[in-house]
Chain A
């Protein structure tokens, strides 16, 4: 069991609960999609797992080890996870290559690893360009490469393909799925697109109002 969530609860301001008692498990190598209407808490759940928010109750375990409960929080930077967000969030002052190698050592080995990943996503020819000089679809590819460089235990995707148009999306879908399967990655993806979810996932979790209401295999 690579990821275990137990009794997870969260509230932003102390009054309204955004996550109301969530439980689920993820096995190594699984691809889980988290679906639901906006405001159901799916992004919050992802942020809790990433350590960008703190839960009010409940535990999160990775590989059997408690990484956070209501008393103790492993900081985000130590959790060994990867994150790609809808806004891509590339560092505007760094080149594509520097962005990609940001999370790993910036030596020859690191740079070569980054180039390999960029190659996988077919954007290695853009390595010296800056984020504002490349298209949205290319930015998202770089973001994916960047997230994968430190070889994260779990990859978290928060609606990464949302802002892309149809053709780009399909292309990227195919490539990404291939890479994920090759590397046997564990992935949690938040999406509002059912078809996308079906394309990628081994399992789907549907959320509403801060709770899991359905699990589909």
Chain B
């Protein structure tokens, strides 16, 4: 291929992909410029306020809890050594393998009036049928708990990294000046790591606002359930899209905050006099207290739900291990792996083309392409349905191909949603490859495809594998988009779990739920390895080894 054409096609490639990715979102937003039906006055008078107030209440509650859990645990784990700390340090991220809707199902199974917890307590304490020890969780407080205990790991991870990068000299200076440990934390550490924490919080909020399964199960009126209800109850897709646009704008604010905080962190990163903190040893009561504080979130967010699921699964005499379960699992894994492969390849090609063409828009491009993770899956699905329908009816007319209802729409949604994950993996992978390698390769007559395949790809195998695993896990957990876009005879594990739980058939929901958690554990294990090796080791002199 002539050189100029080849370079142009490399340059154009990311922009083309960007157009394709953004199309569904634009379609949804375009509804804002259309007609507004009379349903809006009904929405406005009766439910819109609830959607907004519930969403705000959720966010505030979750922020509060997540900060407490995430900050306290990461602070303890970074600066102190105590009983069980080596285990707790990585175990604290285990709840990430439990999607919020699964925790919601186990919560109701436990804490409903006739749930396991109440039954047990009645038995143990020998109380009458009327007595209910645990409060009802099917309300906004229950939802706040659910989101907090599955999503706190984002804040934990981010603040842990930030704490670890703190300069010991600075903290010691604080102690010398008479600040107590708590004051050191509050006045010195906190302000510096604030941008990083904000980034983690924004991720938590975006996931909270995107959720459908948990809030639906708890019957809470939020934007996502409202969108479903307007679409299906008032059968007004247009108004539903307008509601979705509102949610998008809401989410967009948090998304921008997150990008902003990310850029801030780059400026406030460590000085050259960095020395890692030395751990203070805790003994006796303090050690037990530290253990408890760190163990509690793991218990609520992981151990408890997993045990409940296991109990359910075995209560039904393993009868759920039937053909349907195997088919569903196979479908899910096949779909996830295929999407992950596409996504990783895409991320590799785009990051490479940005590097190869020395694109000036590289940061902007990457940001825009990564926007998908902030867009709730439900909204993506709505946009994609419209996009595919338009393609089918206007472009592909006459051909035997039907896109709507095929697996294409679903894979498309997964690509958009998971691109950010694959992208950041490759971004850091590429950063580790010195540009002088590129220079040398080019001088030696290797560029374009040749350089990608002979030089970069062999060096990015870990990134490729990591993004494969991360994307697979994301896809397996996804619910709302899958519900809407899936084709004939095709249920995923998430859909199966949802459908059974919606009918309160928890025993049957347990098998697919456990499968989801198991698959979700794989990237967690990778993450924990990274956590274990991320502590800078110090030799006798206290310097980095």
Q: Which A residues lie at the B interface, using CB under 8 A? A: 47, 50-52, 75-79, 81-83, 85, 87, 89, 91-93, 102-103, 143, 146-147, 150
Contact = CB atoms under 8 A, between A and B. Distances in A.
14 contacts: A52-B439, A52-B442, A75-B3, A76-B439, A77-B447, A78-B3, A79-B443, A82-B443, A85-B436, A85-B439, A87-B434, A91-B437, A103-B443, A103-B445
A78 B444 CA distance: 9
A103 B442 CA distance: 9
Given A85-B436, A91-B437, A93-B459, A50 B443 contact: yes
Contacts of B442: 51-52, 75-77
B436 A89 contact: yes
B440 interface: yes
Contacts of A75: 3, 7, 442, 447
A91 B455 contact: yes
Contacts of A147: 443-444
B436 A87 contact: yes
A93 B458 contact: yes
A62 B167 CA distance: 53
**Nearest 6 interchain pairs by C-beta:** A103-B444, A89-B436, A83-B443, A76-B442, A89-B440, A77-B445
Contacts of A79: 443
B446 interface: yes
B439 A102 contact: no
Interface string B55-70: 0000000000000000
A103 B446 contact: yes
Given A87-B434, A93-B458, A50 B439 contact: yes
Contact of B437 (A76, A78, A82, A89): A89
A85 B163 CA distance: 38
Interface string B454-468: 110011000000000
Contacts of B454: 102
A51 B443 CA distance: 9
Nearest to B459: A93
Nearest to A86: B436
Contacts of B459: 92-93
A21 B358 CA distance: 25
A93 to B, nearest CB: 4
Nearest to A101: B444
Interface string B414-456: 0000000000000000000010110111111111000000110
A91 B458 CA distance: 10
Interface string B122-166: 000000000000000000000000000000000000000000000
A97 to B, nearest CB: 14
B362 to A, nearest CB: 15
Nearest to A77: B445
B455 A76 contact: no
A85 B435 CA distance: 11
B444 A150 contact: yes
B433 to A, nearest CB: 9
A201 to B, nearest CB: 22
A50 to B, nearest CB: 6
B3 A81 contact: no
A81 B446 contact: no
B446 A77 contact: yes
Contacts of A91: 437, 440-441, 455
A143 to B, nearest CB: 8
Given A76-B443, A82-B443, A147-B443, 13 more contacts: A50-B439, A77-B446, A83-B440, A83-B443, A85-B439, A87-B434, A89-B439, A89-B440, A91-B455, A92-B459, A93-B458, A147-B444, A150-B445
A49 to B, nearest CB: 11
A47 B442 CA distance: 12
A143 B441 CA distance: 12
A147 B458 CA distance: 21
A81 B444 CA distance: 8
A85 B446 CA distance: 17
A85 B458 contact: no
Given A92-B459, A93-B458, A85 B445 contact: no
A47 B443 CA distance: 11
A93 B7 CA distance: 26
A89 B436 CA distance: 6
Contact of B440 (A47, A78, A85, A93): A85
B385 to A, nearest CB: 44
Contacts of B444: 77, 102-103, 146-147, 150
Contacts of B7: 75
A85 B442 CA distance: 13
A83 B446 contact: no
Nearest to A146: B444
A102 B436 contact: no
Nearest to A87: B436
Nearest to B7: A75
Contacts of A143: 440
A82 B443 CA distance: 6
Contacts of A50: 439, 443
B206 to A, nearest CB: 35
A83 B445 contact: no
B443 A81 contact: yes
A70 to B, nearest CB: 16
Contacts of A93: 458-459
Nearest to B457: A93
Given A89-B434, A91-B455, A93-B458, A76 B440 contact: no
A143 B437 CA distance: 11
Contacts of A89: 434, 436-437, 439-440
Interface in B181-226: none
A214 B323 CA distance: 84
